[in-house]
Amino acid sequence: MPRPAVLALLGLAVLAAVIVLGVAAGSVAVAPGDTIGILLRALGFPLERTWAATAETIVLELRLPRVLTAVVVGAGLAVAGATFQGLLRNPLADPYVLGTASGAALGAAIAVLIPVRIALLGLGLLNVFAFAGGLAAVAVVYRLGRGGPLAPLTGLLLTGYAVGSLLAAGLAMTMYLSGANLRQIFSFLLGGLGGSTWMSLAIAAPLVIGGSVAILARARALNGLLLGEEAAAHLGVDVRRERGILLGLATLVTAAAVAVSGLIGFIGLVAPHLVRLVVGPNARHVLPLAAILGAVLLVIADVVARLLGEIPVGVVTAVIGAPFFLALLRSARGGYEL
């Protein structure tokens, strides 16, 4: 089995290549040489400008923030997915399992309906409401899901499902009342990186990266939970505290990702799985490698979405992710015990 460090270096090299690919692709043809030249010049290399000013605008102002947002969002979703899978001890968990998706979607839908146009630091009302909605939903699930007769994990999962369903009903109602704005809500639901700007990246990236690093620092607790909450307690993990902290961090990362790019599925579910197949369940290895893989996957998916005429990237990830997931389920041995 290859060492995780080697895999990480390999992954980063692939990521760099995929970023260049992402920046080179688009509806306006920019020669690959020019693309690399523009990037290098932006990084500080003293190169002559041999390309049109519009090409530079397109690459640096339109494509680069979009590709980098895909990197950040893909990495964040993968880390959040891995965390939820470990936390809930359920390999079918994804970043949206506790209602983040429904909460963010409802927040976004409400924002679309409000006939006010504000932009705070380059972020529209939609981004802010989506972020707040995602956080609020999980906070409600956490409050309601604790205590009660069920085991904490089961309680959380089931409450997440119930609250998510309720929020989805609210979303359906809001969409019904939205009239002409339906299209906007819908495109949020399907996920897309078309609205990425340097500003939105500057706000989302610290949250996603900061949250992910904080989760990585608590990898020990995640590992402890492998055999169950009681076993984790016996191994010295303060289960209640770690569960709350990890949940909060993973939700923060997910909400930040969703706020800038809508609901993109399957990355958070599939990337951690693929990584575990190669390096095992140790969170210290899974988290960083899943982040890299998630970033690579989303950049590629976004390129495909762009080349296919700007279809929503969530459609691409679903089309690729679902069959993979089915294959995963079929080859799973020993079932998935909870």
| Contact with other proteins (CB under 8 A) among 17, 42, 217, 327 | 217
Stretch that binds other proteins, among 33-41, 70-78, 207-215, 234-242 (CB under 8 A): 234-242
Question: Alpha-carbon distance 178 to 26, whole Å?
Answer: 32
337 binds other proteins (CB under 8 A): yes
Q: Considering the complex, what minimum distance in angstroms separates the CB of residue 140 from other proteins? A: 26
Nearest residue to 161 (alpha-carbon basis) of 184, 181, 137, 185: 137
Name the DSSP letter for residue 120.
Answer: E
Question: Alpha-carbon distance 274 to 301, whole Å?
Answer: 17
Question: Alpha-carbon distance 232 to 167, whole Å?
Answer: 33
Q: Considering the complex, what minimum distance in angstroms separates the CB of residue 195 from other proteins? A: 4
| Contact with other proteins (CB under 8 A) among 35, 85, 159, 254 | 85
49 binds other proteins (CB under 8 A): no
Cβ–Cβ < 8 Å for 321, 267: yes
Instruction: Give bridge partners of residue 120 from the DSSP assignment.
Output: 123
245 binds other proteins (CB under 8 A): no
Question: Please, where are the H alpha helices in 60-124?
Answer: 64-87, 100-113
Q: Considering the complex, what minimum distance in angstroms separates the CB of residue 152 from other proteins? A: 13
98 binds other proteins (CB under 8 A): no
Structure tokens at 301: 């998916």
151 binds other proteins (CB under 8 A): no
| Contact with other proteins (CB under 8 A) among 137, 171, 204, 219 | 219
Question: Alpha-carbon distance 152 to 123, whole Å?
Answer: 36
Structure tokens at 139: 């906070």
| Contact with other proteins (CB under 8 A) among 2, 44, 149, 334 | 334
CB-facing half-sphere around the CA of 289: CA atoms within 13 A: 25
Q: Which residues bind other proteins (CB under 8 A)?
A: 26-28, 54-55, 57-58, 61-63, 85, 89-91, 117, 119, 124, 177, 179-181, 183-184, 187, 194-195, 197, 217, 219-220, 223-224, 226-228, 230-231, 233-238, 276-277, 280-282, 284, 309-311, 333-334, 336-338
